[in-house]
Homo-oligomer: A and B are copies of this chain.
Amino acid sequence: MAQLTNCIAMMNEGIERVSQIIPQMPAVEARLCRLMLMVGSSLEEELEFKLKPHKLNHSDFLTLMILYSRPDGSSTPGELCEFATQGATNMTRITNALVKRGLITRGASAEDRRRVVIRITAAGKRFVQKMLPPMFPRVSAMFAGFSEADKRNLGRLLGKLAHNLDQLDPDTQP
């Protein structure tokens, strides 16, 4: 994979030059955007890499983890779509795949028969408990050299950014 640091150095120069041609550009903010995008996709790559041996992709994993983290280990496709930010179509596919592997079950809801209840199985829980720990060292290593204040700060700033993105969303076409 390409060195992130190189790309960043290159980007910094690029932004510098562009902001000389187009001075009204919010250069600092644009740079932060690109940084977020780069680090985000690098992180995604890293995650997919760790998931590959388990034959899972990001959405599969996320779906499974949401179920795992539920007190009762269950949810519905609609809810999973919302929290995993996936389309319904995709969630059907993910669910199919996980059911086939015996990690979750799909059942009809008693109250509302339109609804489908998805539940993690005992095998699913064991699977998560086995695959998760080997990831921990790399996760920790990502934050090497971060003080407690750094981590708090990063969390706070990302939260603020998330909030602003939510406000932005009422999609007024630019």
Contacts and interface: CB of A to CB of B under 8 A. Distances in A.
B150 A164 contact: no
Contact of A7 (B28, B83, B146): B83
Given A69-B13, A132-B22, A161 B33 contact: no
Contacts of A11: 83
19 contacts: A1-B169, A4-B162, A4-B163, A6-B82, A22-B132, A22-B133, A24-B136, A26-B136, A26-B139, A29-B140, A32-B154, A33-B142, A37-B47, A39-B165, A50-B174, A145-B164, A153-B157, A154-B154, A157-B157
Contacts of A89: none
A14 interface: yes
B168 A46 contact: yes
Interface residues of A, number: 87
A88 to B, nearest CB: 12
A166 B4 contact: yes
Nearest to A129: B22
For the complex of A and B, list the 5 residue pairs with the smallest distance between their C-beta atoms, beginning with the closest.
Answer: A40-B40, A14-B69, A4-B162, A134-B174, A35-B158
